[in-house]
Amino acid sequence: MTNDHDSLVSILALPGAARFSVRLARAMHVQASAVGYHDFPDGESYVRIESEVASHDVVIVGSLDHPNDKLLPLVFLADAARDLGARRVGLVATYLAYMRQDTRFRPGEAITSRSFASILSAHLDWLITVDPHLHRFASLSDVYSIPATALHASAELGRWIADNVSSPLIIGPDEESRQWVDGIAATARAPSTVLSKFRRGDTDVVESLPNLEGHRSRTPVLVDDIISTGETMIAAIRHLREQGSPPPVCVAVHAVFGDAVERAIRAAGAARIVTANTILHSSNAIDLVPLMADAIQNRQ
């Protein structure tokens, strides 16, 4: 999407993303269009695009946390934009759901990553998201058949840490976190280490002991892509505290967790919990609007 098309770009917000979409539109110097949503008493959804989108490049923006509630409104919105003459309809999913069930762990399970991706791919022309949980899939193109871009918030997380934590030690709670730990540590100009995690169930996580030798005077900063049940952070915090570490700062991209999880993480000994604004949450302190605005504008 080039500057030539700026006047023909419309930003449409998914439910819950109105403020984010206004800020994104402002950063891109384009129009944020109002969308009306309503739930009928029987649970069906009503969607109305309240401004002109004919010939526009439509950018739908929002988080896909609680995806079951948002998927149909998203499909209805994308189809309506196309019906109304939009030239292309893309999605900026600040949080992309259904990336973790990426294989059949037990016989008979649905591989929901694939099903979800095929639904979105059927209704959209392109996708941009940030730090999707890519574990067994090497890239989004393994499951999405439309052009799909994964942005990374490592630099933004690293800058927040550099500006707000004195003498940090960056700690990844599991091997999967190694992919972003190094980038965060480089931006924060800090040393780093990665723990080993063994998950025995949704809410039962065991961590290896961290090697803190040589870093005793530093502030531990646990970094992860997602905090959901909080068990990964809680297990890591407990082990750090048992090793005599000061209370760690917990930094994550996606705040999938609710209030009870936040209380449990604090009770385990977190000094602070900070997230990026990909999912609206009181812990949001790292702004990714500029990252996403640049990515949309640089689309070819």
| Strand duo 35-39 + 31-33: pairing | unpaired
Longest dimension (CA), the chain: 62
Query: What token pair was written down for 268?
Result: 């385990």
User: Residue 10 interacts with ligand R5P (CB under 6 A)?
Assistant: no
User: Residue 21 interacts with ligand R5P (CB under 6 A)?
Assistant: no
CB of 151 to ligand R5P, least distance (A): 17
Nearer to ligand R5P, 78 or 93 (CB): 93
Select the span of 7-15, 68-76, 171-179, 208-216 touching ligand R5P (CB under 6 A). Answer: 171-179
List helix spans (H) across the chain. 18-28, 67-83, 112-123, 154-164, 178-188, 231-242, 259-268, 289-297
Nearer to ligand R5P, 53 or 265 (CB): 265
Write the interaction track for ligand R5P spanning residues 214-253; mark x where CB under 6 A is met and - where it is not. ----------xxxxxxxxx---------------------
Nearer to ligand R5P, 31 or 112 (CB): 112
User: Residue 279 interacts with ligand R5P (CB under 6 A)?
Assistant: no
CB of 180 to ligand R5P, least distance (A): 9
CB of 169 to ligand R5P, least distance (A): 18
CB of 78 to ligand R5P, least distance (A): 27
Nearer to ligand R5P, 205 or 274 (CB): 205
166 Cβ contact partners less than 8 Å away, ≥ 6 residues apart: 219
CB burial string 243-274: b at 16+ within 10 A, e below: eebebbbbbbbbbbbeeebbebbbebbbeebb
Nearest-angstrom CA–CA distance, 31 and 5: 12
Query: How many CB atoms neighbour CB 106 within 10 A?
Result: 5
Interface with ligand R5P (CB under 6 A), residue total 14
Select the span of 86-94, 143-151, 152-160, 173-181 touching ligand R5P (CB under 6 A). Answer: 173-181
User: Residue 65 interacts with ligand R5P (CB under 6 A)?
Assistant: no
Nearest-angstrom CA–CA distance, 101 and 136: 10
- Tell me which amino acid residue 224 is: D
User: Residue 287 interacts with ligand R5P (CB under 6 A)?
Assistant: no
CB of 228 to ligand R5P, least distance (A): 4
CB of 203 to ligand R5P, least distance (A): 8
Query: How many CB atoms neighbour CB 3 within 10 A?
Result: 9
Residues within window 198-217 making contact with ligand R5P, judged by CB under 6 A = 205
Contact 11, 21 (CB under 8 A): yes
| Contact residues for ligand R5P, defined by CB under 6 A | 173-174, 176-177, 205, 224-232
